[in-house]
Amino acid sequence: MQKKTLHGFHAVGARLKRFPDSVLEIYLDPARQDARARELARLAAAHGVKLLHVDDKRLTGLAGDARHQGVAALIDAGRSYAALEDVLDDLTEPAFLLVLDGVTDPHNLGACLRVADAMGVHAVVAPKDKAVGLNATVSKVACGAAETVPYVMVTNLARTLRELKEREIWIAGTAADADVDLHHFNAGAGPIAWVLGSEGEGMRRLTREHCDILVSIPMFGAVESLNVSVATGIVLAETRRQRSLAGG
């Protein structure tokens, strides 16, 4: 069992709704008597999850330096991850995926998950090695999206990209030196997986070689690069816009 803690009402509440069997215990400050606390207690009771009233000192010990909002949970993190085949087999529309190649900052991953949820991405795919993985900070920043967007960790990203191609999913990578920019790229309504690289190095060479096309984000100001979570938001929003225009 891979135990870890979550904190904050968004993260704990979303976990209860999506993966209730993974929640081992919930810790709540008895001073919280508001509607959010009552709803969380109702959800815990409905799923048979033990809820313990503990003081602020105990909650701070669980959450560390993060702002816990008066709630934390102990979960089995081994039940957090989805299988890519299950996600793809259950789709009733063209696949819309986000692939993150080596994102190591939990704040960036949390922000990527949040925007992926907002834009209706079916799953986020990432390698097991040299990537941050889901932790309490990621869940906190994601505001519940870490528990709503399927997160797929794979041992071999290049092989996974080949498998996506076999399913006729178009692999589009982001790169500053691409031959086409986002404003002239037809994401269309077909199946697509966007690949974004790490905060500093970008995509690894092998990952880049497995992309069907490289796309750049037009830049009109003085800065030369974007944070990976900002870049993710731009490409996913443009893809969702094009899908909406195409009736997808």
Binding residue numbers: 197, 217, 226
Helices 228-245 and 106-118, axial angle in degrees (round to 10): 10
For 155-179, b/e burial (b = at least 16 CB within 10 A) is eebeebbeebeeeebbbbbbbeebe
**Backbone dihedral region for residue 64 (phi beyond 0: left; psi -120 to 50: alpha; all else: beta):** left
Task: Note whether 215 and 185 are within 8 A (CB).
Answer: yes
Task: Note whether 150 and 122 are within 8 A (CB).
Answer: yes
Q: Which amino acid is at 202?
A: G
Q: Alpha-carbon distance 245 to 248, whole Å? A: 7
CA angle 141–142–143, rounded 5-degree value: 90
Residues annotated as binding site for S-adenosyl-L-methionine? 197, 217, 226
Radius of gyration for the alpha carbons in the chain, expressed in angstroms and rounded: 19
